[in-house]
Structure 1
Amino acid sequence: MTRELLLSFRVDGVPVPQGSKTVFNGRAVDANAKKLRPWRRKVTASARAAMIAAGISQPLDGPLILAQLFEFERPKSVKRAHPSVKPDGDKLLRALCDALTDAGVWRDDAQMVQWPGRKVYGPNPGVQVSVYREKE
């Protein structure tokens, strides 16, 4: 099987995970909402711009593959080769997927059938996003 690239874009900035919720005035809110909201808005705006550039006007349908590469700046005191510490990859993915849903990339992130991803150290913090359809 081969993959058809439907959408690809990069979002610069330090990726923010979407984790636990807290209850405030009877509403569940993200514990780190002050950092998370701007990050998700940035991802949503970048996704919408990429959709326009790719000529995509409706949410993508069918089973999709979401590839993501999260890049973090290596702290000066860190010697390890890989960012095997927080933030958790699944929480980074949750924030990304919810932002892509908000952007209208797909109807629901349940359409993802594969989501290969990585966290790496590099000079330019951000995330590289690619959405594919598997061709039979």
Structure 2
Amino acid sequence: MSKPVFDITVHGMPGPQGSKNKNPSGALYESSAKVKPWREAVKSAALDALAYDEAWQPLREAVRLEVVFTLPRPKSHFGTGRNAGVLKPSAPQHPTGKPDTDKLLRSTQDALKDAGVLVDDSLVTDTVAAKRYVLTGADTLSHPGAVVRVWRLNKPKESES
């Protein structure tokens, strides 16, 4: 596969977007308090990367999005006392609980659109996403965050007048 047209590392706790709650007056709000800071972190990292590309135009064609989300391990995965900081043999290798991968993608895609990486998140036709624990494989970080890469799937569209 060719080189991605956009590649960033985002630092911060990935936040899912999608589940809503109602307040007493009936207004809907995001159930996760992490979604707003996460979207801001993705948008900020994207804007920082785009600041170095004066010719950047938001993508208007089909794209492939790859994201590896790095999540912290729960404290219950580690021993106690003199074994504090030592991973238990029974600790799972992969994060299978919440947040859901699709909801993490939703907040990330919306932030990429808000930053001007994409004209619309509907342009994402191919997606590869993974949730991993800190330092457990390729593209995982030493702290919570994500590695985000975008590839063009077609030749860029001509500018519309």
Match of 2:66 in 1: 67
Q: CA deviation at 1:116?
A: 0.4
* TM-score of the pair, normalised by structure 2: 0.75
1:11–1:56 Cα change, 3 Å: farther
Whether the 8 Å CA contact 2:15–2:36 is kept in 1: the answer is: no
| Unpaired runs of at least 5, structure 2 | 78-90, 135-141, 156-161
2-structure distance, mates of 1:120, 1:37: 21
**Partner residue in 2 for 1:13:** 12
Q: Deviations over 1:62-81 (max 9, x none)?
A: 11111100001222422000
Corresponding residue of 2:145:
126
CA distance in 1 between counterparts of 2:55 and 2:101 reads 28
Match of 2:30 in 1: 30
Name the structure with the higher strand share. 1
Take 1:56 and 1:97, find their aligned partners in 2: how far apart are those partners? 22
SS in structure 2 opposite 1:66?
strand
Q: Are residues 1:93 and 2:112 paired?
A: no
Specify which of 98, 113, 124 is matched with residue 112 of structure 1: 124
Q: Secondary structure in 2 aligned to 1:5?
A: coil
Bigger Rg, which one: 2
Unmatched 5+ stretches in structure 1:
none
SS in 2 for 1:77: helix
Percent identity over the alignment is 38
Would you say 1:49 and 2:48 are equivalent positions?
Answer: yes
Distance 1:126 1:42, change over 3 A: same
Q: Spell out, residue by residue over 1:33-84, the C-alpha distance to the aligned partner (whole angstroms, 9 max, x if none).
A: x432122111111111112224453211211111100001222422000011
Q: Distance in 1 between matches of 2:102 and 2:69?
A: 12
Bigger helix fraction: 1
- CA gap of 1:46–1:116, structure 2 versus 1, over 3 A, is same
Do the aligned partners of 1:64 and 1:114 also contact (CA within 8 Å) in 2? yes
Does residue 82 (structure 1) correspond to residue 101 (structure 2)? The answer is: no
- Report if the CA contact (8 A) 1:4-1:133 is conserved: no
- Tell me how far apart the structure 2 counterparts of residues 92 and 86 of structure 1 sit (CA, whole Å): 10
Q: Larger relative contact order (C-alpha < 8 A, sep ≥ 6)?
A: 1
